């Protein structure tokens, strides 16, 4: 399965509205051919998120260990500071809600004995949402963790960040799904992002 790279970067000596930022990111995307999308955090606008697809985890790791890394990524280091990267088994960029004003990404740690039940619950949850939700909803499991650790990422589109927050606090969701998704889980973080290229138009 293809792998989705999610990388968090912090702006360095530049603002999110500076045309040089999008020019730099777009040039790197053209070289890497990862079909990347770029998002700025709603809550912390100094944070940028890059989402891109690799054929597999090894393909990205080999690039990072190669001499080409400095040539391709070097220009962004003047304006962006690396924070972290995660890799997720994912079917393709078409699953990302690129048409939504807000993309929400939830990172959730899952205890090993709950992986199968949580996976079933998430799939059921997404199927229920799709009947009434206008934007894409998808999920994937991290593929770069040490054995015995499990993390699921939920990605969904929303009109506003507040809509997503309000939804996560709803009390009328399916009880079995809610119970399965809450037992033995730990939310590691929630990202609300706006697509940089949509903002630029």
Distance CA 135, CA 157 (A): 5
As a residue count, the chain comes to 201
**Domain pair 3-91 / 97-192, same fold:** yes
> pLDDT digit string (tens) for 25-67?
999 999 999 999 999 999 999 999 999 999 999 999 999 999 9
**Is CATH 3.30.70.100 the right assignment for the domain spanning 97-192?**
yes
- Please write the tens of the pLDDT for every residue from 125-153: 888 777 778 899 999 999 999 999 999 99
Give per-residue pLDDT as tens, 79-123: 999 999 999 999 999 999 989 999 999 999 999 888 888 888 888
pTM score, two decimals?
0.89
The structural domains of the chain, with segments of one domain joined by +, span 3-91, 97-192
Average pLDDT over residues 70-80: 89
CATH architecture of structural domain 3-91:
2-Layer Sandwich (3.30)
Give the integer Cα–Cα distance in Å for 86 and 108.
13
């Amino acid at each position: 399965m293809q792998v989705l790279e999610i990388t968090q970067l912090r702006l360095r000596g530049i603002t999110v509205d500076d045309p040089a930022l999008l020019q730099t990111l777009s040039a790197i995307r053209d070289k890497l051919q990862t079909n990347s999308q770029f998002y700025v955090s709603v809550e912390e606008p100094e944070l940028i998120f890059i989402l891109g697809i690799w054929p597999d985890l090894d393909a990205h790791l080999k690039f990072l260990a190669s001499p080409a890394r400095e040539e391709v990524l070097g220009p962004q280091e003047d304006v962006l500071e690396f924070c972290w990267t995660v890799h997720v088994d994912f079917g393709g960029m078409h699953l990302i809600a690129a048409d939504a004003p807000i993309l929400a990404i939830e990172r959730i740690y899952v205890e090993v004995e709950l992986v199968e039940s949580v996976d079933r619950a998430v799939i059921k949850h997404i199927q229920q949402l799709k009947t009434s939700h206008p934007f894409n909803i998808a999920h994937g499991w991290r593929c770069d963790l040490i054995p015995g650790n499990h993390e699921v990422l939920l990605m969904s589109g929303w009109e506003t960040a507040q809509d997503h927050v309000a939804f996560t606090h709803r009390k009328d969701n399916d009880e079995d799904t809610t119970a399965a998704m809450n037992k033995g889980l730990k939310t590691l973080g929630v990202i609300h992002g706006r697509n940089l290229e949509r903002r630029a138009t």
